[in-house]
Amino acid sequence: MQIWRSKFSTHAKTPVALTIGNFDGVHLGHQAILTRLREAANKLGIAACVMTFEPHPREFLAPDQAPTRLTSLREKLKLLAKSEVDYVRVYRFNYNFAKISPETFITHILNKELSVRWLLVGDDFRFGARRAGDFAMLQALSTQNGFEVVEMPSIIDNDKRVSSTSIRQALDSGDLQAAKQLLGRSYSISGRVVHGNKLGKKIGFPTANIHIKHNRLPLSGIFVVTVNGVSKSSPSKLYYGVASLGVRPTVQKNGKPVLEVYLFDFNQDIYGLHLQINFLHKLRDEEKYIDLDTLTRQIEKDVAQAKDYLNKLSINLEAS
């Protein structure tokens, strides 16, 4: 998969089948769109291309009201690569992009810049300045701009529309199974292991501190997790542990969110590695304790409960 960061300067030399969206989470609805795109591209003998944006338009236009991120750009691109699309065009969403009229978006970007021959959009798709463009406009201007436009209906799961919003709601309520059902996989956060204040090591629970790029996250609390990327020789090997995601009220005031992972029976230097943390089960909400001794006793209980949970899943921790 090739990734292009577009600035309205390059004109496509080969035609593409295209879909457009934020694709936050790359959930089952997105996956259905990508499958349809790939099928159409194969049938027409052209490349499959995804257009997406960074930052999320609502993060730029109304940051205080923007939804929490399900995936960073890096995570999203990794998930898109699994769908076997040929190209991803990442457009920088800024004031200039926000001012583009729907007509210019069609004639300049879709036609001239991308050479779109087949276009797939969701049933709620809007585009252009003030979101004035819609499917009817795409239909009206498609023929003269050389492409066919197709509308993708919403994907329904258990009478509920699969959407990034519904996944955020599930994560916020701690319902990781509901989120997994809508995503088609466990919710995860990826990041590099960085140095922290070494408090976990001091109290007997050394943690891997994961760098996270966004201060607003869709979930918080203490979780049972699996981790990929610990072993350089076997990146897909799973390790098990407990993760704390939150602001650590016992040790800091008004802190930024921190993701810390305690891996069971593990004592290796993994600074600098890029890990994927998969959230299986929420143990409890984050709490503030009166002192470190009380916090340590609670962590001991968290670890015991996490191991009990994994044992009920018939996971042999000694063999892992």
Q: Say whether both 232 and 307 belong to one domain.
A: yes
Taking only the tens place, the pLDDT of each residue in 112-159 is 999 999 999 988 899 999 999 999 999 999 999 999 999 999 888 887
One domain, residues 7 and 145: yes
Query: Which of 92, 125, 160 represents a domain boundary (last residue)?
Result: 160
Share of the chain above pLDDT 90, in %: 67
Shared domain for 79 and 205, answered yes or no, is no
In a domain, 174, yes or no: no
Q: How confident is the model at residue 7 (pLDDT cuts 50, 70, 90)?
A: low
Residue 165 within any structural domain of the chain: no
For 55, the domain range is 2-160
Same domain, 116 and 195: no
Are 199 and 156 found together in one domain? no
Exposed e or buried b per residue across 8-20, where buried means at least 16 C-beta atoms within 10 angstroms of its C-beta = eeeebeebbbbbb
Using 50, 70 and 90 to split pLDDT, how confident is the model at 219? Answer: very high
CATH number of 217's domain: 2.40.30.30
Are 155 and 28 in contact by the 8 Å Cβ rule? The answer is: yes
Q: Cα 191 to the chain's mean position, in Å?
A: 12
CATH code for position 95: 3.40.50.620
Q: Do residues 90 and 205 share a domain?
A: no
Residue 318 lies in a domain: no
Domain count, the chain: 2
Whether 179 is in a domain gets the answer no
What digits encode the pLDDT tens for the residues 166-205?
999 999 999 999 999 999 999 999 999 998 877 777 777 8
pLDDT in tens, 15-34: 999 999 999 999 999 999 99
- What three-state secondary structure class fits 38? helix
What are 88's two structure tokens?
A: 């991803």
Q: In terms of domains, do 146 and 6 share one?
A: yes
Does residue 247 sit in the same domain as residue 132? Answer: no
Q: Would residue 317 count as lying in a domain?
A: no
Q: Is residue 172 part of a domain?
A: no
- Say whether both 124 and 82 belong to one domain: yes
What is the model's pLDDT at position 319? 55
Long-range contacts of 138-144, Cβ-Cβ distance < 8 Å, separation of 24 or more:
138/106, 141/103, 141/106, 141/107
In the listed set 142, 160, 178, which residue is the last one of a domain according to the structure?
160
299 and 206 within one domain: yes
**198 with 237, same domain?**
yes
* 94 and 211 together in one domain: no
Q: What is the pLDDT of residue 123?
A: 81
The per-residue pLDDT for range 247-305, each reduced to its tens digit, is 876 777 767 889 999 999 998 888 999 999 999 999 999 988 888 888 889 999 999 99
